[in-house]
Structure 1
Amino acid sequence: MIRTITLPDLGEGLTESDLVEWSVAVGDTVELNQVVAEVETAKALVQLPSPYAGVVAELLVEPGATVPVGSALLTVAVDEPSVVESAGTPHPAADVPPDPAAPARTSVLVGYGPLAETSARPRRRSRSAAWAAAHATAEDAAAVALSARRVGPKVLPPVRKLAHDLGVDLNKVDGSGKDGMITREDVLHVVSGADPAPVAQARAATAGRPASRSGTVRPAGGRVGGATASGGTVRAAAAHEPASPPNGGAAREVRTPISGVRKQTAAAMVASAFTAPHASTSLTVDVTPTLELLEQFRADRVLAGHRISILTLVAKAVAIALRRNPTLNARWDDAAGEIVQYGYVNLGIAADTPRGLLVPCVKDADGLRLPELADAIGALTEAARAGTTTPADLAGGTITITNIGVLGVDTGTPILVPGQAAILAMGAIRRQPWEFQDQIALRHVMTLSVSFDHRLVDGAEAAHFLTDVGAILARPGSVLSMV
């Protein structure tokens, strides 16, 4: 029979997701819990497991489409409903006597709810071949036919997505990897000898969303060439480029649907900018002593294996300064008419990723020792760049640090993460003339800037917080007088 797999409720109040890529193709045999698709929510990339074992009958959604929770994604031909069923779902084999010896299933698929069957519920006995033949349906016959089809090419999900973005038919690619696995290089080799159309599609893909094989970018919702809110039409540049572009083949325009992280980030920044009255202040600090301390840490064998960086030391300084300036570790609850003061620090670390800006947070950062803090920051930033950050990692931050210095920027006025009272920006560390011991010397200097919600934080409080952070970085020993 044919079973339909829908988009489950992924939690965190999310009502829709964007389908990034399929991990299966029509005709593929899937097992229970096998990943069938990767979706992008407003907070993270999520892999969807199959609640059924069978053969993929139909893929109902194109990659790049926005899918509401509960909408159908694909259908699977299964032999019998020996899989997850929601409470209240009637059992087709209710007339079959239970088998007391049958083992109880205990696995639960995340997002599909708990298993309805428990030890208190009678077990169903396996159907005999005669019974199955007597109750065979046309859908069962279709499942058998589908199961006889060849399994699709061996390819990992990231490579399958790349092939989709570039318009490469994987069925026509010879895999050079182990056991015929199609690699990224195999796909790029095919593209290198193709016509300019896939190249234009590749540019559309690098802009953030996949392009369809016809060269048309699908808008959110899955329709192609449909009217936008402004009455226009969403099309890829390749669809209306001249045959020989005057700029050496580069696309003149690439239109990308606003979705996923970019859509969420834009909405959050607009809400923050026009809800919380922003103010900012900055301080330039001689961080030479901190860099010298950092070198000592790196040479310490006890700390070997812990990637302690300037970001780690700034994070520790922020956690210490918040104890003396707690108003920056709070939020404004407009609905309740209250100011919520946090007794812990969930430290957000802004990360620039291929998906856009993500802010995973280190939970209870104020209670972590320096090596633990370094490990936590390293793990979160690596996960963010790899696209494996979970919604839980992105939720619950109380204050944020953004390291704009790695981009070569000295200072800035970052916008607050919604629900937070402050965000600290670290500028680039530069070697420049500075007053030191009544003389001019070349010192390592960094500018710190903090943006804050003026409803919660007064200018003097923000200044005290910033000078405390600066004092720790300029004179690490001063921390002894603060804790």
Structure 2
Amino acid sequence: MTRVKEFNLPDLGEGLTEGEILKWLVNVGDTIELNQPIVEVETAKAAVEIPAKWAGQVAKIFHPEGTTVEVGAPIIAIDTDPGGAPVESAAMPSAASLAAVEIAGDQPVEPGMIGGPAPGGRTAVLVGYGPKTAAAKRRPRAAAAGVQPAPAAPPVASPPVEAERVAPTEDPVPTVQAEPVGRTGVQAGPVLAKPPVRKLARDLGIDLAGISGSGPNGSITRDDVMSVSAAPAAPAPAVTAAPRVGREERIPVKGVRKLTAENMVASAFTAPHVTEFLTVDVTRSMKALERLKGKRDWRDVRVSPLLMVAKAALVALKRHPMVNSSWQGSEIVVKHYVNLGIAAATERGLIVPNVKDADALTTRELADALNALVTTAREGKTSPAAMSGGTFTITSVGMFGIDTGTPILPPGESAILVFGAVRDTPWVHKGKIKIRQVTTLGLSFDHRIIDGELGSKFLRDVGAFLEDPEGSLLAWS
């Protein structure tokens, strides 16, 4: 039975064909457990931690950080029985099995390759996978950071000695890293920090290994990093940053930004967009939210105007189901469920996760779902599945002080609602000019499916709900 097993990059979402190695959470020689996170991978939709498929000892890391890897390609090899007989003495089904070891010639060993220098200046590698070539794409940083070379492999003919079996896990990990974010000799395991926190630390030149985390299970939070940055002894990144070279900067387009650009271009030049606007007095909606906050069952819930807009859209979609549809070839597919997308700006770019079956949720359940969705997006933990299958989207530009916009449709959807800033505005109310809370809504829609009448009626109903939420629920239910 093959002892050393390859773990291939899994399919992380619909339509994804590759991912970039962000951070290795283990090194060659580490003993790992089943389902232990071993690597952070960034795809066009999300940054995710991938767990180990088997328990054992890391035998080989195929790709350094910064490398783009195709789905299905091997990323790590795991020895599932590190305390057993040498790999060479195990029964193997074929010469091409990963359990076999051969001499690959006088080629240099890269960090992470199994074996290291073998007797005679030759390199021991796994069959079928020699040292990496220079063609691999990498980030412009120390590519080998966090990927430790394996200890020298014992001679093939020598029986294993107990001390040799445990040596890989007893070797101290060097405390000096090529990049600020990494593991040190005093760490018992990988640093616990989410991708946005790691990026912030890299930008500020802060070593996460020296920070005591205040988050769950000792994880390091954004506030932990900022508190270190603000300390008197901390270096000032703006002062110590490398001098600018040239007058231009070129930023590779990849990941979320690349997918967003492709989707927006495809949507803009496929669906004929029409956008309508409506200015609405939302004073009653804002008062209704305040009353909700005062209720005992709602005291632990974060209530925002987005909740009221989402509820208004769901009620209006029920009255006008054609708005919740998509154009597919020679058919219009009307969805009798609403996967409500919420556009979210993150450090990785614009993403649109959605609340599944939002139309079936109570108002309290909808509030909890929206809060969880926004929190997960900000932490960079949104899964690819959460960003697939949306049927209708809301984008809020009010948080930036913007009144409205002309959003582009997400692919596969026929309408998107934009929600602007709520402002105190002079407004004619009951025949008198009063200061009221007012916002502007915008609705972009696919004119192949939604004509001006339908789009106008839908937007009118959203506005009517926001002007008088209690009255609308009573009149339309």
TM-score when normalising by structure 1: 0.70
The equivalent position to 1:348 in structure 2, one of 341, 349, 352, is: 341
Secondary structure of the structure 2 residue equivalent to 1:424: strand
Amino acid at match of 1:277: P
* Contact persistence 1:168–1:191 (CA under 8 A): no
1:446/1:156 CA distance change after superposition, 3 Å:
same
| Structure 1 residue 399, shift from structure 2 partner | 0.4
Alignment partners' CA distance in 1, 2:436 and 2:425: 6
Unaligned runs of 5+ in 2: 85-89, 94-154, 174-182
Amino acid at match of 1:156: L
1:29 corresponding residue in structure 2? 31
The equivalent position to 2:439 in structure 1, one of 419, 443, 446, is: 446
Percent of aligned positions that are identical:
49
Amino acid at match of 1:44: A
| Range moving further from structure 2, 374-383 or 301-310 | 301-310
2:126 corresponding residue in structure 1? none
The equivalent position to 1:468 in structure 2, one of 461, 467, 470, is: 461
* Contact persistence 1:23–1:157 (CA under 8 A): no
Alignment partners' CA distance in 2, 1:301 and 1:167: 45
| Structure 1 residue 448, shift from structure 2 partner | 0.5
1:325 corresponding residue in structure 2? 320
* Contact persistence 1:31–1:52 (CA under 8 A): yes
* 2:386 paired with 1:393: yes
Superimposed CA distance per residue, residues 152-209 of structure 1 (whole angstroms, 9 cap, x where no aligned partner): 5222244766666677788xx7566799999747986899559989835xxxxxxxxx
Alignment partners' CA distance in 1, 2:228 and 2:59: 26
Superimposed CA distance per residue, residues 134-166 of structure 1 (whole angstroms, 9 cap, x where no aligned partner): 99789x998755334225522224476666667
Alignment partners' CA distance in 1, 2:270 and 2:361: 33
* 2:168 paired with 1:146: yes
1:314 corresponding residue in structure 2? 309
Alignment partners' CA distance in 2, 1:190 and 1:161: 22
1:318/1:199 CA distance change after superposition, 3 Å:
same
Alignment partners' CA distance in 1, 2:237 and 2:165: 38
1:480/1:255 CA distance change after superposition, 3 Å:
same
* 2:272 paired with 1:270: no
2:286 corresponding residue in structure 1? 291
Unaligned runs of 5+ in 1: 83-90, 95-132, 201-236, 242-251
What is the 5 A alignment of 1:182-201?
Answer: 184=225, 192-193=234-235, 199-200=241-242
What is the 5 A alignment of 1:72-83?
Answer: 72-79=74-81
* Contact persistence 1:23–1:160 (CA under 8 A): no
1:482 corresponding residue in structure 2? 476
In the comparison of the two structures, how many residue pairs are matched? 386
What is the 5 A alignment of 1:13-24?
Answer: 13-24=15-26
Secondary structure of the structure 2 residue equivalent to 1:387: coil
Alignment partners' CA distance in 2, 1:305 and 1:282: 34
* Contact persistence 1:17–1:41 (CA under 8 A): yes
1:478/1:15 CA distance change after superposition, 3 Å:
same
| Structure 1 residue 25, shift from structure 2 partner | 3.0
TM-score when normalising by structure 2: 0.71
* Contact persistence 2:12–2:384 (CA under 8 A): no
* Contact persistence 2:13–2:385 (CA under 8 A): no
Alignment partners' CA distance in 1, 2:274 and 2:345: 24
* Contact persistence 1:22–1:157 (CA under 8 A): no
What is the 5 A alignment of 1:164-183?
Answer: none
Superimposed CA distance per residue, residues 5-32 of structure 1 (whole angstroms, 9 cap, x where no aligned partner): 3212224232111222121234433222
Alignment partners' CA distance in 1, 2:253 and 2:37: 26
1:44 corresponding residue in structure 2? 46
The equivalent position to 1:379 in structure 2, one of 349, 372, 377, is: 372
| Range moving further from structure 2, 182-191 or 156-165 | 182-191
